[in-house]
């Protein structure tokens, strides 16, 4: 079994995992330094770090870390009658001490870009310098053929892609299609399917967002949750070139992904009565 080959295959398929490696061992125990095990989101594990209680615990810990998208170095005492500082005691009788490294391998976030024009391509150029898995959707084949750097290119109608139920709660969505009509279709379909993205941003002017909100409230009611909706999109950094807009949007996504506050979002430049994300 080639664990490294499997890890690469899962990365290509945008499947996050935790790679658990035995990095240190003192005393007796079933663990060998260098042994690896990978744990997938569905709970499946491949490989081994020794079996028994330590492997059972490692599988459980890996699932927790997958949800948090975090790595961890942790030490275990394989003797239920012994306690050591900064270590966890497991119900074993071997008497050894083992250190495992849990490495999160996967994207920081999955991002869908609807529209592969100038801003869409500029976004790919910026986002792919970080650990994001990026999909670009555009029904124009000539545009899709020009996109470089995305993980996935989908040459199909915008709404048809959403209907495939690929987008999950917590994903990031950027809407920059070639027309207002398509933008509205994309966002309305996301709301209709009750997908809860971490971020849904639409490239638009203040006048455009007011018109969109009026239509949205008429369709979905005034109580529709738009807290994750960012439009006008991006942080208020100035600059109107595709590259500058891409940096503004990417910075906004990073601020949200790291739960950072205090930045001025473009949606906050709207008049008070138009602050749709507030109660």
Q: Return the pLDDT at 278.
A: 65
Q: Is-contact 37 58, C-beta < 8 A?
A: yes
Which sign does the torsion angle of CA 254, 257, 260, 266 carry? positive
Dihedral in degrees, nearest 10, Cα atoms 60, 64, 70, 75: -40
Under DSSP, the state recorded for 268 is G
**Per-residue pLDDT tens digits for 157-212:** 999 999 999 999 999 999 999 998 999 999 999 999 999 999 999 998 888 888 88
Q: Is-contact 255 223, C-beta < 8 A?
A: no
What Cα–Cα distance (Å) separates residue 32 from each residue in 22, 49, 137, 243, 254? 7, 7, 46, 50, 39
Residue among 64, 69, 78 nearest 24 (CA):
78
Query: What's the mean pLDDT when you consider all of the chain?
Result: 91
Task: Label residue 273 by pLDDT band (50, 70, 90).
Answer: low
**What's the CA gap between 98 and 94, in Å, rounded?**
11
**Per-residue pLDDT tens digits for 39-50:** 999 989 999 998
Under DSSP, the state recorded for 273 is G
Beta strands 88-89 and 97-105: pairing type?
A: unpaired
Task: Label residue 92 by pLDDT band (50, 70, 90).
Answer: confident
**Per-residue pLDDT tens digits for 230-271:** 999 999 998 899 999 999 999 999 999 999 999 999 998 887
**Per-residue pLDDT tens digits for 119-138:** 999 999 999 999 899 999 99
- Answer whether residue 18 shows pLDDT above 70: yes
Q: Return the pLDDT at 1.
A: 62
**What's the CA gap between 165 and 12, in Å, rounded?**
19
Q: Is-contact 182 212, C-beta < 8 A?
A: no
Q: Which CATH class is domain 109-274?
A: alpha beta
Hey, where are the domains in the chain? 3-105, 109-274
**What's the CA gap between 83 and 77, in Å, rounded?**
7
Q: What is the mean pLDDT of residues 78-92?
A: 76
**What's the CA gap between 178 and 99, in Å, rounded?**
53
What does pTM read for this prediction? 0.80
- Answer whether residue 279 shows pLDDT above 60: no
Q: What is the mean pLDDT of residues 71-86?
A: 82
**Per-residue pLDDT tens digits for 55-76:** 999 999 999 999 988 999 999 8
Long-range own/partner contacts, residues 150-155 (CB < 8 A, 24 or more apart): 150/113, 150/124, 151/14, 152/14, 153/116
């Amino acid at each position: 079994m080639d664990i490294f080959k499997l890890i690469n295959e899962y990365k290509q398929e945008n499947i996050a995992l935790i790679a658990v490696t035995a990095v240190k061992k003192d005393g007796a125990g079933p663990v060998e330094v260098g042994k690896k095990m990978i744990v997938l989101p569905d709970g499946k594990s491949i490989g081994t770090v020794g079996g028994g209680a330590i492997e059972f615990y490692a599988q459980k810990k890996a699932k927790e870390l997958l949800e948090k998208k975090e790595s961890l170095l942790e030490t275990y005492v394989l003797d239920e009658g012994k306690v050591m500082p900064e270590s966890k005691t497991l119900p074993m009788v071997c008497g050894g001490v083992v250190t495992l490294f849990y490495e999160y391998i996967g994207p920081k976030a999955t991002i869908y870009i609807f529209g592969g024009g100038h801003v869409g391509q500029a976004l790919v150029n910026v986002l792919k310098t970080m650990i994001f898995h990026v999909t670009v959707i555009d029904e124009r084949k000539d545009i899709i053929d020009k996109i470089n750097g995305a993980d996935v290119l989908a040459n199909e109608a915008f709404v048809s892609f959403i209907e495939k139920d690929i987008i999950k709660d917590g994903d990031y969505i950027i809407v920059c299609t070639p027309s207002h009509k398509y933008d509205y279709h994309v966002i309305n379909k996301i709301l209709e399917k009750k997908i809860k993205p971490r971020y849904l941003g639409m490239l638009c002017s203040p006048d455009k967002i007011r018109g969109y909100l009026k239509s949205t409230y008429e369709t979905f009611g005034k109580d529709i949750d738009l807290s994750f909706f960012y439009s006008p999109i991006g942080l208020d950094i100035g600059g109107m070139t595709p590259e500058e807009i891409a940096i503004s949007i990417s910075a906004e996504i990073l601020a949200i992904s790291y739960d950072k506050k205090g930045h001025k979002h473009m949606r906050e430049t709207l008049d008070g009565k138009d602050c749709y994300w507030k109660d």
